[in-house]
Structure 1
Amino acid sequence: MEFNIKQIFTAFMVLFAVIDIIGNIPIIIDLRKKVGHIQSEKASVIAGIIMIIFLFVGERLLRFIGVDVNSFAVAGAFILFFIALEMILGITLYREEESNAITASVFPLAFPLIAGPGSLTTLLSLRAEFDIQNIIFAVIINVLVIYVVLKTSSKIERLIGPNGIRIIRKVFGVILLAIAVKLFTANIKALLI
């Protein structure tokens, strides 16, 4: 087992871009307002565990239940699409009374926002290129960054202010919508061929 700094950095950057925790700040703030408190440690650890487990058994698990990676990514694109609509239009698509700090930390925060179809399918493609220990290290670094952002989200909110949050929410809603469309189109082609 040999650690390769270049592989770790590349895998970290690719995952960081796909997870887009900075872009998810408006969603995190919105979730915190709905449920009162988000368990940063729990959300970070669960997301990290999901990603590392999926790295090892993801493709086999999907094959076992009869779902290919492309179908998984298309389903995830729909989830991201609806979350983006919530951000852009200021509507709520899931019922708030079912959410509490524990469930919100797991769904939709740990999965699908952090350890979602985009990051999970990215892990499968990284596995084809990089050594497994380097990918795991990149996941751990991402989890630490995610934890810091989740922990400081209220400070970030105070710094940016309510109008800044609204603007960022709309902008990142459009970006998330574009990611959902890209994820959908890239994988629907593979399903239709």
Structure 2
Amino acid sequence: MQLNFKEIFTAFMVLFAVIDIIGSIPIIIDLRKKAGQIQSEKASIIAGIILVLFLFLGKSILNLIGIDVNSFAVAGAFILFFIALEMILGITLYKQEETTAVTTAVFPLAFPLIAGPGSLTTLLSLRAEFRTENIVIALIMNVIFIYIVLKTSSRIERFIGQNGINIIRKVFGVVLLAIAVKLFAHNIKALFEIA
């Protein structure tokens, strides 16, 4: 087991930016109003399980359908690119279905809000570059942070304010855009080397 704190920190920041739990506070508050309450523990644990399972089984699933990790990582870079554009420009490219379910902890909170297409793709993209144990630690750190945010979302919103949330979203959007470009460049190069 080779722990690399630089890898852990980078993986944590990438996942933190993609999951964007701070930027999702308005959605979380809206869900809390609709459902009455949010089961923070359940939502965090389910999202964590989905993400860890995909980290370990995602590559096998891809092999089963004949896609290599580099191709998936390039596709992931595009998704990250569009998520970053959403964050920076304040536009919505991905429309989420409206739900008022009692199972808010699972849908849409754990999936697709936390463990969504962006975070799942990011995990495989990270796996192409980083060691698995470092990603798992970064993932656990993110799940703990998600739990804290879910538990204290209304207080965070009052403290930061809407402008603060918007600034955080834009800053992480720029970071994510840079990561998307790096991921694309690294994996497209690997694809051409294979070809």
Structure 1 length-normalised TM: 0.73
Measure, in 2, the Cα distance between the counterparts of 1:43 and 1:190. 36
Cα deviation for residue 99 of structure 1 reads: 3.2
Q: Quote the residue 2:110 is aligned against.
A: 105
* Distance in structure 1 (CA, Å) of the matches to 2:94 and 2:137: 34
Describe the superposition over 1:105-151 as per-residue Cα deviations: whole angstroms up to 9, x where unpaired: 311422235x4322333346413xx5xxx875664444222211233
Match of 2:63 in 1: 63
In 1: Cα distance, 2:172 partner to 2:135 partner: 27
TM-score normalised by the chain length of structure 2: 0.73
What is the RMSD of the two structures over their aligned residues, measured on CA atoms?
A: 3.2
Report the identity percentage: 55
Q: Runs of 5+ in structure 1 lacking a partner?
A: none
- The 5-angstrom pairing of residues 129-140 of structure 1 reads 139-140=139-140
Counterpart AA for 2:31? G
Offset of 1:43 from its aligned partner? 4.0
Would the aligned equivalents of 2:17 and 2:173 in 1 still touch at CA under 8 Å? no
**Separation (CA, whole Å) in 2 of partners of 1:155 and 1:54:** 32
Aligned AA (1:118): T
Partner of 1:118: 122
> How far has the Cα of 1:44 moved from its partner?
2.3
Distance 1:83 1:166 in 2: 14
Query: What is the aligned residue count?
Result: 181
Look up the match of 1:158: 158
Q: 1:68 to 1:43 in 2, by over 3 A?
A: farther
Measure the CA separation in 1 of the matches of 2:95 and 2:138.
35
User: CA 1:80–1:153 in structure 2 vs 1: closer, same or farther (change >3 Å)?
Assistant: farther
Check 1:70–1:153 CA distance in 2 against 1; reply closer, same or farther (3 A cut). farther
Where does residue 191 of structure 1 map in the other structure? Answer: 191
Aligned partners of 2:12 and 2:142 also within 8 Å:
yes
